[in-house]
Amino acid sequence: GLGSSATAIVGGLLGANQLAGHPLSQTEVMNLAIAIEGHPDNVVPALLGGCCLTASTPTGWEVCDIPWHSDIVPVVAIPDFELSTAEARRVLPTEYSRADAIFNAAHLGILLRGLETGNRDWLKAGMQDKIHLKTRIFLKINYLCVNLQNISNY
């Protein structure tokens, strides 16, 4: 998705915080947004801006900014169909093979370095996925997945 629920949550929290005279810190707003959304994936970038990763730790959330090379231009592709987040997540398995987890973790590292350096080979390699794409092949998103692979050829 494009994170529209996350931006609505963050906007609502920031507006309420403003109207209440800023009783909450940015970290407290972030924690509330994550609690409402159920995960940090989109609410943290919506709140903090930029590209970032967020992971839970025993003491809270750790946020890591992702350096983005100036030659990389984000593109948003909006297909002519709707697919709910719930439906897209429903088809994902609850467990993954070690090989697929290792593959995706390694390729995430390559993708992150590609984003930082602008290295097209690393970006292309980093876009490979063995967890999300293969399990969602039966959804309408298959159209988008095939085209993502085609885009990565540029």
Average pLDDT over residues 42-60: 93
More confident residue, 86 or 58: 58
pLDDT value at 86 more than 90: no
In the numeric block, which tokens belong to residue 129?
A: 């996925």
pLDDT of residue 126: 94
Cα separation, 76 vs 128, in Å, equals 18
Closest by CA to 111, choosing from 128, 90, 130, 99, is: 128
Average pLDDT over residues 56-85: 87
Q: Half-sphere exposure (CA, 13 Å, Cβ side) for 140?
A: 9
Lowest pLDDT segment from 52-56, 93-97, 98-102: 93-97
Average pLDDT over residues 13-30: 98
Confidence band, pLDDT 50/70/90 cuts, at residue 98: very high
pLDDT, one tens digit per residue, over 126-138 is 999 988 877 777 7
**How far is residue 69 CA from its own chain's centroid?**
18
Mean pLDDT rounded to a whole number for the chain: 86
pLDDT of residue 84: 76
Highest mean pLDDT, choosing among 58-62, 141-145, 146-150:
58-62
Given a contact cutoff of 8 angstroms between Cβ atoms, the answer to whether 10 and 45 are in contact is no
The structure's pTM equals 0.77
Q: How buried is 22 (Cβ within 10 angstroms: 0-12 exposed, 13-18 middle, 19+ buried)?
A: exposed
What CA dihedral angle connects 73, 86, 131 and 30, to 10 degrees? Answer: 60
Among positive and negative, which fits the CA dihedral 56, 83, 126, 7? negative
The full set of domains in the chain, from first to last, is 4-65 (3.30.230.10), 85-151 (3.30.70.890)
Count Cβ neighbours within 10 Å for each residue of 35-59 and write b for 16 or more, e otherwise.
Answer: eebeebebbbbbbeeeeeebeeeee
